[in-house]
């Protein structure tokens, strides 16, 4: 479907974006190559003048967009009443610039790659009163716990900046690992390399060719020699970082179908292990006003039941030594 010439006025909330990124966000379904071509040819104008892709836009700028062919977007999959109810209860903080959502395990954060409906698409349907909702960061599909969703572009930029460089958003996870994690092993410093298989599946391995990656681990509770509940604090933010660092130390996460121990997981199925035991339990950062924000999300019921079952079954849960 071809559009007519459009004149788009940049809002204050959209100010600071590059021209190419602005158009990519506004022209859904238009190939990236076409967007760069019309910019290069001068068919895109900012305040009636030619502009380069890296031009930073200011509030009030008027962007002329030539007629471009937009691919027909499929109708979004409507959320069920059940999922709507889950999401209503999953919002644990509703602040002027952002939401904090307690994501359930099994829900991808966004659609794509065979996923028709992700968390962000579902939130937009569940809360139509918010004209802007975007993920600040991501969680693996099988991981539960707290995730930040921006309600304004300016807040998205602010929060994402806290994740860059010297991280000023601190994340805390709870994970159940196989075996007895040594108390002295607090920091895992091992570079991670991500590869994408032909199937589209992502796989991560420790490799000297990978990106620097660090995770702090601390023992929370032991279950004899069989398993350990640990707190993990990622210093860097690589894909599958906690899972691969734990596996690299010889203590893969319980219930991890990609990096775990299938034999162990089968042996503890009767104890209620039916998902990856990884939960984003906390976030801390300073908001735009400089106030400290601390968010804590307890283990979901199914993981609390696993802890109780391990405690009873192995009957050796003890304090950190």
Catalytic residue among 20, 61, 140, 265: 140
Question: Which residue, chain included where needed, has tokens 């569940």?
Answer: 126
Is 209 an annotated catalytic residue? no
Q: Which residues are catalytic?
A: 140
């Amino acid at each position: 479907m071809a559009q007519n010439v459009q004149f788009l006025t940049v809002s204050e909330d959209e100010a600071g974006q590059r021209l190419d990124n602005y158009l990519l966000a506004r022209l859904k379904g238009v190939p990236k190559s076409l967007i760069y071509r019309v910019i290069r040819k001068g068919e895109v104008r900012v305040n009636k003048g030619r502009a380069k892709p890296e031009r930073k836009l200011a509030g009030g700028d008027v962007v002329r967009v030539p007629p471009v062919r937009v691919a027909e977007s499929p109708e979004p999959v409507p959320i069920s009443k059940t999922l709507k109810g889950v999401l209503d209860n999953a919002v644990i903080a509703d602040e002027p610039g952002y939401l904090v959502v307690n994501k359930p395990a099994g829900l991808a954060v966004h659609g794509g790659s065979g996923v028709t409906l992700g968390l962000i698409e579902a939130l937009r349907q569940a809360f139509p009163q918010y004209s802007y909702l975007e993920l600040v960061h991501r969680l693996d599909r099988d991981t539960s716990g707290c995730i930040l969703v921006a309600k304004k572009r300016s807040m998205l930029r602010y929060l994402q900046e806290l994740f860059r460089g010297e991280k000023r958003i601190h994340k805390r996870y709870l994970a159940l690992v196989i075996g007895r994690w040594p108390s002295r092993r607090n920091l895992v410093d091992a570079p991670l390399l991500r590869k994408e298989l032909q199937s589209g599946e992502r796989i991560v391995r420790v490799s000297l060719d990978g990106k620097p990656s660090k995770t702090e681990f601390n023992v929370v509770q032991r279950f004899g020699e069989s398993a350990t509940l640990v707190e993990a604090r990622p210093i860097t933010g690589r894909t599958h970082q906690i899972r691969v660092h734990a596996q690299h130390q010889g203590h893969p996460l319980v219930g991890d179908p990609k990096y775990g121990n299938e034999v162990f997981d089968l042996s503890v199925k009767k104890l209620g292990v039916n998902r990856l035991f990884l939960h984003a339990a906390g976030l801390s950062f300073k908001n735009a006003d400089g106030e400290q924000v601390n968010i804590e999300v307890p283990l979901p019921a199914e993981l609390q039941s696993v802890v109780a079952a391990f405690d009873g079954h192995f009957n050796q849960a003890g304090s950190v030594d």
